[in-house]
Chain A
Amino acid sequence: MTDSLRLIKHPVLDASLENRRTVTISVDGKTISVFEGESLAAALWAEGVISLGHNPNTGSNRGLYCGIGHCYECRVTVDGVQDVRSCLTPVREGMRVTLQKAEIETGTDHGH
């Protein structure tokens, strides 16, 4: 775990890791340990997974942005279900996460 990217001290919320259980999830086939109670977006960010996919129209990286379920930039595939907002999804033991690959393919005309 990469503690340096994880918020572990907060003036109001109890962010300490002392009594937090760990949870194992897989991200694109790679198993990682995260903390129970984290949102998937926060857990991925803490583990250094900042880019969660690509904008299908521009190809640019996308990732956590609004953090409140409004913008859909943080969408990932969870257990086969696409377009899940990782900022609103608590991590769960055994969760399988797939990051969407660049969706620009020949034959789709995004030139507008």
Chain B
Amino acid sequence: MTQKTDNRDRTFDDLTICRCEGVTRGQLKACIHHSGARTINQVKKLTRAGMGPCQGRTCARSVEIILTTEAKTPAGVEPYQSRPPVRGIPVSTLAMGSDQFHEPTGPVSVAMTRTPDPEIPSKQIHKIK
């Protein structure tokens, strides 16, 4: 038989909210109160909640609710910025057929990666106009 636990004195700050990244309710509260995070995206960027393998599928709603109760602001004001790709894509899969894309012809040329000597040919570099 399972023992009944008395939850009256628990703060639940040790509850794991973002399971992938191991972010607890206490850590989320600290982010909201000490760092002044007011949107779900700020919380994500500062705690890593929502950045793990499931990309916030499990925790986003819980984080929103904690944000609303702790920050007393409507969390739904700014939607969770879900980023492409929908699911992880291996680098090699993304790279397939890369030479068939017409745009871009190359990266924006930046000083660091530009070959130092203008006489030496650079591959596929866009000079900033």
Contacts and interface: CB of A to CB of B under 8 A. Distances in A.
A73 B47 contact: no
Contacts of B47: 112
B22 A71 contact: no
B31 to A, nearest CB: 9
A112 B27 CA distance: 8
B54 A70 contact: yes
B88 A71 contact: no
Interface string B45-65: 001100011100110000000
15 contacts: A55-B19, A55-B20, A57-B21, A66-B58, A70-B54, A70-B58, A71-B54, A71-B57, A71-B58, A72-B20, A72-B52, A72-B53, A72-B54, A83-B53, A112-B47
A110 B47 CA distance: 10
Interface in B76-90: 88
Interface in A71-89: 71-73, 75, 83
A31 interface: no
A32 B22 CA distance: 33
Contact of B53 (A58, A75, A110, A112): A75
Contacts of B54: 70-72
Contacts of A70: 54, 57-58
B88 A83 contact: yes
A71 B52 CA distance: 10
Nearest to B46: A112
Contact of B22 (A55, A66, A73, A75): A55
Interface in A24-77: 55, 57-58, 66, 70-73, 75
Interface centre among A57, A58, A75, A83 (most CB of B within 10 A): A57
A110 B22 contact: yes
A110 B23 CA distance: 10
A90 B53 CA distance: 21
B19 A71 contact: yes
A110 B21 CA distance: 9
Contacts of A112: 27, 47-48
Contacts of B48: 112
Contacts of B22: 55, 57-58, 110
B117 to A, nearest CB: 38
